[in-house]
Structure 1
Amino acid sequence: MLKKTIRIGTRDSELALWQANTVKSKLENLGYTTQLVPVKSDGDLVLDKPLYEMGITGIFTKTLDVAMITGIVDIAVHSMKDVPTLLPNGIVQTAVLERASSEDILVTPPFAPHKKGIDWEQPCTIATGSLRRQAQWLHRYPNHKVVDLRGNVNTRLQKLKDNNWQGAIFAKAGLQRINLLPENYIDLSWMLPAPAQGAMVIVALENDEFSKEATSKLNHSTSEICTHIEREFLSTLEGGCTAPIGALAEIIGNEILFKGCLFSLDGQSKLEIERKVLVSEYKGFGKECAKFILSNGGSELMSSIKNQMG
């Protein structure tokens, strides 16, 4: 039965390799034979353009999609927040692994004063390549300047050291996974994460029953339900356009607590929702929450974002 070697496609950054190796060892513990196949992505190679100028949809996943469709790899492992809500034809989600922290953190330079020593009321320069983080930061600190920050985790940490910024925003899970979480960081518990932040997803070809069955054994149902709601919220709002959208679903007892937000690019306009639903009624909940936002000013806000981004 366990004859076929499952070839695991991954980007070749340190974090991506950590994620792929995690899946590799989990599959091997179940008795499967696996092989890692690292592939460079356009998102890693072009560091001088903001993501949204590169047609963000699938920038980190496209290369692996092609490798899967052309038969070079059998499955791919991704940070779920990087995966387009609409998967390419013939590729399906087979498992969401147990989610790590979904929080964003502000990393301050090693030489900066301790967090209590930074006066956030003063003009500050904060770095992030994410429209969502930028908008939420500017909403809270309108007198600050936000600069673009690209590259893998290691590159971005180095840029923080090399520049005269007060801080840079990272996903906590990414730094934890490769043991790069520094001492000097501040939890941004007020910032809503990207949909599915902190979760890893496995995708395979729809007609590859062997790989689908093998990887589905790694699925964590709580993480799958929460990320499904967040991504449904994103997909209903976005309509193919990148926008500052945050979402977080958490299962508490037999209920799901959902928080979602949509911001203007400059952070001045904010639309938000907070709702609960029974876990048994989670299907369509993300869509329902997005429709509430759209009918309460969200449609107009999305139109203006699309116009601004050309």
Structure 2
Amino acid sequence: MSRVIRIGTRDSELALWQANAVKNALEKLGHETKLVPVKSQGDLVLDKPLYEFGITGIFTKTLDVAMITNQIDIAVHSMKDVPTALPQGIVEAAVLKRANTHDILVHKGTDFLNDDDGIIATGSLRRQAQWLHKYPNHEIVDLRGNVNTRLQKLEDSTWNGAVFAAAGLERINLTPEAYLDLKWMIPAPAQGAMLVVAKEDDEFCRKALAALNHESTAVCVHIEREFLRVLEGGCTAPIGALATVQDGTVHFKAALFSLDGQERIGVEKEIPVSQHKGFGRKCAEEVLSAGGDVLMRKIKEEVNNTKG
């Protein structure tokens, strides 16, 4: 019996691009599909930083509810937005081949990089902390909204620049000419990767999506997300992590920063791909034992004080 797979997605241009990529891939395999766009609370409330919501998954929760209440069959996410613990009954069904992992600075000229009075916009604690680690005298201002909204806010402002994920701009052909590749900035765990989730008991969708899974990407992002989960980061801590696979070896680089960027506890290791299970946990435990546990408590207190 044929079945139409209902694909849940946020309704931003980037989210729709990602959902259409999954739609096209499934249809090439002979499946019938239908897009079901949904607005998330993270898209609707733009006047406060993400960490002030006090929950992870602000962009994924609405789609989780739509799936549990049988309004959609699968959901497509930017994997870095997805909490490391999925709701009961929802499982990872496919990780698509990863795009560009880098952050980029969209700017109005780079002379300010040599000055003490630069103003950079970002809604990410990870980007904020790493920018301040490198440029401690610059000012960080909060920037929220979808990619198009953030680009417009930058254009209308007196800021020197704003930090974006390269993959998001590349996917919808919005990368401007004036940008810098921030190769020194460690990306968010799973940045550049797309995740498709399905209901645990939906064997039809899980089997259909299994054909889209990219094994090498899946290995890397699971190491990064395990590192994040053990550090208990979510949206509330400046944590960067990147795993890559080359010639059968996983190369891993990650760090935890203080909110002001002045403290950095990092790890850089490699391991054979065949031994990747539990590798993210081991790296996280190394960071925690090097003072990361104390720094995480300090970060949580500071974030809670900001929310209060």
TM-score range, shorter chain: over 0.9
Match of 2:41? 42
- Provide Cα deviations, 1:70-110, integer angstroms capped at 9, x if missing partner: 000000000000000000000000100000000000001xx
Distance in 2 of aligned mates of 1:207 and 1:68: 12
Q: Does the CA-based 8 Å contact 1:98-1:220 persist in structure 2?
A: yes
What amino acid is the match of 2:32?
T
Match of 2:175? 181
- Provide Cα deviations, 1:212-238, integer angstroms capped at 9, x if missing partner: 000111000010000000000000001
1:127-142 residue pairs with structure 2 within 5 A?
127-142=121-136
Match of 2:201? 207
SS in 2 for 1:295: helix
Q: Does the CA-based 8 Å contact 1:135-1:263 persist in structure 2?
A: yes
Q: Which of 158, 166, 171 matches 1:172?
A: 166
State the TM-score, normalized to the length of structure 2: 0.97
How far 1:239 sits from its partner (Å)? 6.1
Distance in 2 of aligned mates of 1:49 and 1:308: 16
Distance in 2 of aligned mates of 1:303 and 1:64: 31
- Structure 2 unaligned runs (5+)? none
Residue 283 of structure 2 is aligned to residue 289 of structure 1:
yes
What amino acid is the match of 2:203?
E
SS in 2 for 1:65: helix
Residue 112 of structure 2 is aligned to residue 107 of structure 1:
no
Match of 1:250? 244
SS in 1 for 2:244: strand
Residue 66 of structure 2 is aligned to residue 72 of structure 1:
no
SS in 2 for 1:262: strand
Distance in 2 of aligned mates of 1:239 and 1:193: 14
1:143-154 residue pairs with structure 2 within 5 A?
143-154=137-148
SS in 2 for 1:192: coil
- Structure 1 unaligned runs (5+)? none
What amino acid is the match of 1:25?
N
CA RMSD of aligned residues (A): 1.0
SS in 2 for 1:289: helix
Number of residues of Structure 1 aligned to a counterpart in Structure 2: 304
What amino acid is the match of 1:210?
F
1:291-306 residue pairs with structure 2 within 5 A?
291-306=285-300
Provide the identity percentage. 66
SS in 2 for 1:288: helix
1:13-92 residue pairs with structure 2 within 5 A?
13-92=12-91
